[in-house]
Amino acid sequence: AKANGGDNYQFFGKEMNTRAVERHFIEGHLRQALDAQEFVLHYQPLVNLQSGRITGAEALLRWNSADRGLVFPPDFITVAEDSGLIVPIGRWVLLEACTQGRRWLHAGLPPVSIAVNISAVEFRRRDFLEGVRSIIEGTGFDPGFLQLEITESALMQDAKAGAAILRELKKLGVQIALDDFGTGYSSLSYLKQFPIDILKIDKSFVQDIDGGNDDGIIVSAVIAMGNSLKKRVVAEGIENAAQLGFLHGLSCEEGQGYLFSRPVTSDALAHLLANGLPL
């Protein structure tokens, strides 16, 4: 048993080491990725579930790495957060999304809101607000069409400070969405205290909605509550017609998911804005 424990320890140690090397590799390359212009935003349509019209697009970060090809956020966001690199990266994301929004308008496409994910690390910084303000001014993008997505957990790390930042953001005229709703602290009382415009129901609840289990009950409760608090409710991760039918029946206004479209390039999104979804 002792020898076994020794083996386990060795194996564990080796795995830890591999992971440390991997993190080190990613961090080193992330540092250069901004300068090398290796980041790109893809956009996933937000859809009005009644009309089928596109109401917005969520900007989702991709890293087009020279060494590794297209890398997705789960493989680098944590490293970017731990190293602080998420701050300049996040600033680039916001600038790029607002610039793209202006371009689509100038191209004569119907105006849609653009949603940008904000990391807890960015949100907590004292210069975050000023950064948002200067990008809105610099790009001339209508802040009423800018939707900042913040997770419950980012907000609740310091609820009082979080509420103050949200109030300042509201003064800038932006929309606030609570992302991954239901996965965090789920204290419903703060929904009333905080100036939140949109609830995004986490895809983990939507995925099993039709299985006749608790997820359906949770989703229907969240939609009813959101509607009665006059929040916009967006369901994430809609993949099939059964899920859509369920949400439709519960008066969920908006949704997003592979059923409508995967995240696509800015050109492909422009095409969808011009022609509508191929349904």
Q: Strands 54-65 and 232-235: what pairing?
A: unpaired
How far is 202 from 178, CA to CA, in rounded Å?
10
Q: Which of 65, 100, 113, 117 contacts Ca ion by CB under 5 A?
A: 117
Q: Which of 104, 76, 61, 49 is nearest to 227 (CA)?
A: 49
Nearest approach in angstroms of CB 14 to ligand C2E is 28
179 contributes a contact to ligand C2E by CB under 6 A: yes
Residue with tokens 């479209």: 261
182 contributes a contact to ligand C2E by CB under 6 A: no
Nearest approach in angstroms of CB 33 to ligand C2E is 13
Toward ligand C2E, which CB reaches closer, 37 or 189?
A: 37
Count of chain residues binding ligand C2E (CB under 6 A): 21
Residue with tokens 């029946």: 249
Q: Which of 46, 81, 79 is nearest to 60 (CA)?
A: 46
Restricted to residues 89-108, the positions that interact with ligand C2E (CB under 6 A) are 90, 93
Toward ligand C2E, which CB reaches closer, 15 or 82?
A: 82
Nearest approach in angstroms of CB 58 to ligand C2E is 7
237 contact, one of Ca ion, ligand C2E, none, CB 5-8 Å limit per kind: ligand C2E
Q: Under a CB-based contact definition with an 8 Å cutoff, are residues 115 and 58 in contact?
A: yes
Q: Which of 191, 142, 188, 141 is nearest to 166 (CA)?
A: 191
Q: Under a CB-based contact definition with an 8 Å cutoff, are residues 225 and 189 in contact?
A: no
Toward ligand C2E, which CB reaches closer, 220 or 240?
A: 240
Which residue type occupies 39?
Answer: F
Toward ligand C2E, which CB reaches closer, 142 or 239?
A: 239
Restricted to residues 118-157, the positions that interact with Ca ion (CB under 5 A) are 149
Binding site for Ca ion (CB under 5 A): 117, 149, 179-180, 236
